[in-house]
Amino acid sequence: MKIALVGGTGDIGTGFALRWAANHEIIIGSRKADRALESAAAVIKLLGGSGNVWGADNASAIAAADAVVLCVPYEHLASVTSDLRSFYSGQLVISPVVPMSYNGKFFQFVPPKEGSAACQVRSLLPDGMRIVSAFHTISAAALQAQDRELKADVLICADEPEAVEQVSRLAMEVKSLRPLNAGPLQASAMVESLTPMLLNVARKNKIKDAGIRIVSER
């Protein structure tokens, strides 16, 4: 696939680019094309000079893509999604975005009126778009360590089985990640709320690059 990473010049975007460039064409997007080009060049260098990775402004990245991953902080999600609405035309849209805040003592989940970031994205994009909520509890630092086994689960929420399957395949391209179906898009609030909880536990217990793994006692 051609995968656009909107706002993909940061840690999480770099991680996705490094993990998926072997099998897909990666388009790193940014508000400024120059910054996206610099980020793409840095990723190619980390890949040893190989990899189909290029940079563009966010609008051009979306228009060229089969799938779009929203790598923007939550505070920019509404404006970026609304401004770029006209460039969407049936792409698979993946949201790892989490609406949360830090009060100086702990992180807390602060959902929008739609209930979750993923549902907010659905409300802002054209009707019929395939929206998938996933990758919220995956450490960006761990994702960037190309040879590292993450040994974590990716909880996926979506309304279309085909979209769940597509994102599951992307997750399985990352060594030791296991995709799990967590329900319809409406259930995304429960998954998104795990991120501030995970950050709080990691800070209090000095756990680096924490993730979530669901285990069976049987």
The model's pTM: 0.95
Record the tokens describing residue 46, joined without a space.
Answer: 């980390």
Q: Where are the domains of the chain?
A: 2-205
pLDDT string in tens for the chain (218-residue length):
999 999 999 999 999 999 999 999 999 999 999 999 999 999 999 999 888 999 999 999 999 999 999 999 999 999 999 999 999 999 999 999 999 999 999 999 999 999 999 999 999 999 989 999 999 999 999 999 988 888 899 999 999 999 999 999 999 999 889 999 999 999 999 999 999 999 999 999 999 999 999 998 87
Angle at 93 between CA 90 and CA 95, to 5 degrees: 165
Per CATH, domain 2-205 is 3.40.50.720: yes
| Residues forming a β-bridge with 103 | none
DSSP H/E element including 92: strand 92-95
Determine contact, residues 120/80, Cβ cutoff 8 Å.
no
